[in-house]
Structure 1
Amino acid sequence: MGRPSEGLTLRRIDPLHPANFFWARDAHGRCALVLQVVGSATVDEARPRLNGIDIVEMVQTDDQHAFVLTLRREEDVELFHRLCEDIVEVSRHLDGDRAFLAATIRRAWKWHSLLRGAGRARLGPEEQQGLIGELLFLESLAGTISPKPALEAWRGPLDEPKDFVFGTRAVEVKARHAGKAAIKISSEHQLQQVIDQRLFLLVHALTPTLAEAGQAFTLDTLVARVRDALVAKDPSSEEGFEARLLAAGYSAEHDYGDRWWAWTSSSAFEVRDGFPCIDAAGLASGVASVSYWIGLDACTAFETPEAALLEMEQD
């Protein structure tokens, strides 16, 4: 993109995206992300201060204003690009300029924590298990559809209730220790059914193992395997994958080579009427942020072939 003599040079990021997001460059040659919204779209939330990134809001016309994130240092362009990709993706399924602006501000706050180091703590064993489960399903999904739609479907790192949403399907993915016969559900919304959407629960059983064991992997080697598979099908998908990983709390600055895992089995269930879970709509007023355990023995009547989760043509 060329450098303007004043103002900003703009290029629409995605014509199919419901929000007006633009890549931009200012008169100093600095990279920027611009969200254009109608003038009446205001959000009463504090704006974060990001290290190395300026956030300004400017009136463009009486009916339109812009929310602009501008990178100060060119050497941070890769991280800035991931931040922008994350903001754009988290807004893709929203509706209305107020929602787009609110989501942009919330994601900027999350990155505020990441850039200050609060989000760079090493993932613990349970967090590694959870991410491994999602990566295993992403690998399967990307093998069925192309990488970019598969990455778009991966909603877990974006703090959405379901880990994957694609077509008329949603999939919640859990990973458990092979010795446990129950799984933890971390909110009342994770298994909440939605009208016109089929909801599935996929449970991977993992066990810690030795590096010499057959088919053993670490979180790092699994990340590399999934990345290689995505890039082999679509080289342009790598940036989106890296943005999702960072949002999920994974950073290459940590070495996960000290913990090896083995996959032992998977079970898939369709969450429908009668499934043993908490109904968010049925909770008493004032009750929220519920977590609970489900015994897998109680789910056997709802078991379904894992391949059914990917049969998009039947939706």
Structure 2
Amino acid sequence: MTWRLPLKPLDPWEKLGSGEAKRVDVAGRFDFFWVVLEAGMPGLMLRLPELPQPLPRLPKLKNLVTSFRPVSGGSAFVLGLKERSQVQIFETLCRDVVEAGEAGANRNEALSRALQRTRRWYHLLRGGKANGLSVEEQRGLVGELAFLRELVSAFGPETAIEAWTGPTCSAKDFEFIGSCIEVKARRVAAKPFVSISSEDQLADVQGNRLYLRVVNVASAVLPEGQSLHDHVRMTADMFEAEGAAFEAWEETLGSTGYDPENDYDDRRWLLGTANDYEVKGGFPRIASPLENGVENVRYSISLDACEPFKLDGDLIDVIRKGFDHE
């Protein structure tokens, strides 16, 4: 028997010098090229006769760079890899982006599809779910987005997006100077309870007042109304004029597991009334820290038992007062 060494995976950048390019598919309909960028960085380029207007926003990915740049004969969308040790997975990403772009009807659509596929990789690498968010996860996201829109209207995009900390593994959904807010969305016809998923969600935060917002969110499989995608678009529109805030919005949204390519078009979401409660001494909750050996606590609280703690004023005003006493 003759033993053979396993074949080394092909590297499309291996024989390219700095500034050189090689067409990805000689039979391809659009001008996708393997390229070597500055500092020997492997890259993928889609050559364009001119840049689209308005210029699309580019996703920011860890260890990758995305940019529009001038090239001979026009411009190009360029995707580059900063970490050379990840070249194999980067090649897979690039081929997937090219495949998506080649399905476009024209060059502009090829660019749009290439960007969309790049964003899909971004969401996947940030924790997106292949099968999408569950119905209850969608409900929770709709509730948080509704409150986020209130915050943008009251305090502006930068302050609002900085406060939305729940998707990035914080114990509280929103954190401000002097106050923290946990948002819970519930079915309108559900029993008057809300679920608390950890001992930290309603735990005190030193130097801060803690509030619980409970919002009724109805859903149905209907042809009309607002889908999850609609709620996301409404919120995104409030950030688009602010570049840094928009980038933070996209990153935080991606951390929720939302992927724009998942199918959420059939289910419609309707926002109902919202009630706010101050979580303080006597509020129905499991106290933290837990007894030694007790972990992963999940429990429900009765909204009837929360009534004595209902906030009389406006929660936005409470948050604003916290800023005033900074």
What TM-score, normalized by structure 2, do the two folds share? 0.62
- Does structure 1 residue 148 correspond to structure 2 residue 158? yes
> Bigger radius of gyration, 1 or 2?
2
Secondary structure, aligned partner of 2:239: helix
**Separation (CA, whole Å) in 2 of partners of 1:178 and 1:160:** 27
**Deviation (angstroms), 1:118:** 7.0
Q: Which amino acid aligns with 2:217?
A: L
Match of 2:33 in 1: none
Cα deviation digits, residues 22-74 of structure 1 (max 9, x gap)? xxx9612579969xxxxxxxxxxxxxxxxx77388xxxxxxxxxxxxxx9579
Match of 2:199 in 1: 188
- Does structure 1 residue 54 correspond to structure 2 residue 66? no
- Contact 2:128–2:258 (Cα < 8 Å) also in 1: no
In structure 1, runs of 5+ residues without a counterpart are: 6-24, 35-51, 57-70, 84-110
Cα deviation digits, residues 260-303 of structure 1 (max 9, x gap)? 1211211100101110011121x220111100001100000000
In structure 2, runs of 5+ residues without a counterpart are: 1-17, 19-36, 44-60, 64-80, 98-113
Change (3 A) 1:274 1:127: same
1:237 to 214, 235, 245: 245
Match of 1:224 in 2: 233
Change (3 A) 1:227 1:251: same
2:282 to 264, 274, 280: 274
Change (3 A) 1:310 1:244: farther
Q: Percent identity?
A: 34
- Contact 2:221–2:266 (Cα < 8 Å) also in 1: no
**Deviation (angstroms), 1:160:** 0.9
**Separation (CA, whole Å) in 2 of partners of 1:127 and 1:222:** 14
**Deviation (angstroms), 1:235:** 4.5
1:246 to 236, 254, 259: 254
Change (3 A) 1:310 1:139: farther
Cα deviation digits, residues 170-225 of structure 1 (max 9, x gap)? 00000000112110000000000111101100011011246477xx3211100001
Secondary structure, aligned partner of 1:304: coil
- Contact 2:154–2:316 (Cα < 8 Å) also in 1: no
2:140 to 130, 135, 140: 130
For this pair of structures, how many residues does the alignment match?
233
Change (3 A) 1:168 1:294: same
1:259 to 262, 267, 272: 267
Measured on the aligned residues, the alpha-carbon RMSD in Å equals 3.6
Q: Which amino acid aligns with 1:261?
A: W
Q: Which amino acid aligns with 1:28?
A: G
**Separation (CA, whole Å) in 1 of partners of 2:273 and 2:127:** 36
What TM-score, normalized by structure 1, do the two folds share? 0.64
